[in-house]
Amino acid sequence: MDLAAQLEALRDDGAARLTAAADADALEQARIELLGRNGALKDLKDAFKTASPEDKRSCGRLLGEVDQALKAAYEARDKSLQGAVDSSAIDITLPGEDRRAGSIHPISQVAWEVEQVFSSMGFDVVDGPHIEEDEFNFTRLNIPPDHPARDSQDTFWLSTGKLLRTHTSSVQSRTYPDTQPPIRKVVVGKVFRYEEVDATHDNTFTQVEGFLVDEQITVAHLVGTLQTMIKAVLRRDDVEIRLRPSFFPFVEPGFEVDVRSTSATGRFSNWVELLGCGMIHPKVLKMGGIDPERYQGFAFGLGLERLAMIRHGIEDIRLFNGADLRGLRQFAG
């Protein structure tokens, strides 16, 4: 093979080999063999030096071309290999990265809706502490120390003598001393009971307490308010409510309220107990510095989990505070 043919072969085959190098190691090997100090190009350059003047004339330009072509091919491949990811570092069998958006907890959803309904009826949305004084949780609600009614709300006592509030009625007794009627307030918050946990009881749950104090307030106002709220939150018009007489020390008369749907089938076609309520006891108003001769009021306390369970057909209250996201995710969006 004459020199020109050798140069052409090196240009074509060498460039092709550099371009096809599978990885950095293969490229480096090809570079050494083609462009290195003892490589193929160097051999041909040496051959050129000793070539006949005729060959030198005809091959000078070709030699320059080969040199350039190989270097360009090397650089292009080097660049593309550096840009590429090292495929051996990727395990394509690994599960992908899971980026789920968070969602609003079903209890928060219901809580916001309840707050909205009451805001629309002119109630202030207020708050109170979880760690409560005995006085506000019990005494000022007409449950004196050592009264047996305390047993109806199993209590987490703290070593300081304070307690985790057992109901949101504590926000009533906190509110009265500083406020004169008209009062319309609603509070949504966690309450705590030393209770055995099962499908319908949790030791930590959420209550809504609504209370209203004004002149000439009757049970009819209470019933109308409850109906408005329940229909809005259950998102149906076919709900009936019924009041059963019941005892809570801070109301007189007191009731328990059941709801049912006139068109639903299944559990909700029967009466479901939903909340406690009544006309605020005159003693509670008096302890709060409000004249019970002039003012009356109603109050109610409702478990939000119960409401959310009816609304979504949830069978087990432990879903709400449990860590099983498969349950909670169903209420996203």
CB 211 within 8 A of CB 275: no
Q: What is the DSSP letter of 198?
A: B
Q: Dihedrals φ, ψ of 101, to 5°? A: -75, 145
d(CA 26, CA 291): 95
Q: Which of 248, 268, 295, 331 binds ligand PHE (CB under 6 A)?
A: 248
Q: Is 123 in the site for ligand PHE (CB under 6 A)?
A: no
d(CA 257, CA 244): 6
Q: Is 185 in the site for ligand PHE (CB under 6 A)?
A: no
Q: Is 306 in the site for ligand PHE (CB under 6 A)?
A: no
d(CA 274, CA 294): 31
Side chain identity at 33, as an amino acid letter? E
Closer to ligand PHE at the Cβ: 17 or 193? 193
Q: Is 278 in the site for ligand PHE (CB under 6 A)?
A: yes
Q: Is 299 in the site for ligand PHE (CB under 6 A)?
A: yes
d(CA 75, CA 73): 6
Q: How far is the CB of 238 from ligand PHE (least distance, A)?
A: 26
Q: Is 163 in the site for ligand PHE (CB under 6 A)?
A: no
Q: Is 187 in the site for ligand PHE (CB under 6 A)?
A: no
Residue with tokens 């050592």: 146
d(CA 217, CA 321): 37
d(CA 311, CA 276): 19
Token pair belonging to 262: 């006139």
Q: How far is the CB of 153 from ligand PHE (least distance, A)?
A: 7
* Choices 36-44, 45-53, 248-256, 259-267; region in contact with ligand PHE by CB under 6 A: 248-256
Task: Report the DSSP beta bridge partners of residue 277.
Answer: 255, 300
Q: Is 62 in the site for ligand PHE (CB under 6 A)?
A: no
Q: How far is the CB of 241 from ligand PHE (least distance, A)?
A: 15
CB 301 within 8 A of CB 275: yes
Q: Where are the alpha helices (DSSP H) in the chain?
A: 3-9, 15-20, 24-35, 40-49, 53-83, 106-120, 134-137, 170-175, 219-234, 282-287, 304-312, 318-321, 325-328
Q: What is the DSSP letter of 185?
A: E
Q: Which of 11, 167, 174, 260 binds ligand PHE (CB under 6 A)?
A: 167
* Choices 5-13, 86-94, 95-103, 297-305; region in contact with ligand PHE by CB under 6 A: 297-305
Judged by CB under 6 A, the chain residues 208 through 227 that form the site for ligand PHE are 209
Closer to ligand PHE at the Cβ: 39 or 254? 254
Q: Is 277 in the site for ligand PHE (CB under 6 A)?
A: yes
| Count, residues near ligand PHE per rule CB under 6 A | 12
Q: Dihedrals φ, ψ of 13, to 5°? A: -70, -40
Closer to ligand PHE at the Cβ: 36 or 253? 253
Q: Is 300 in the site for ligand PHE (CB under 6 A)?
A: yes
Residues that bind ligand PHE (CB under 6 A): 167, 169, 209, 248, 251, 254, 276-278, 299-301
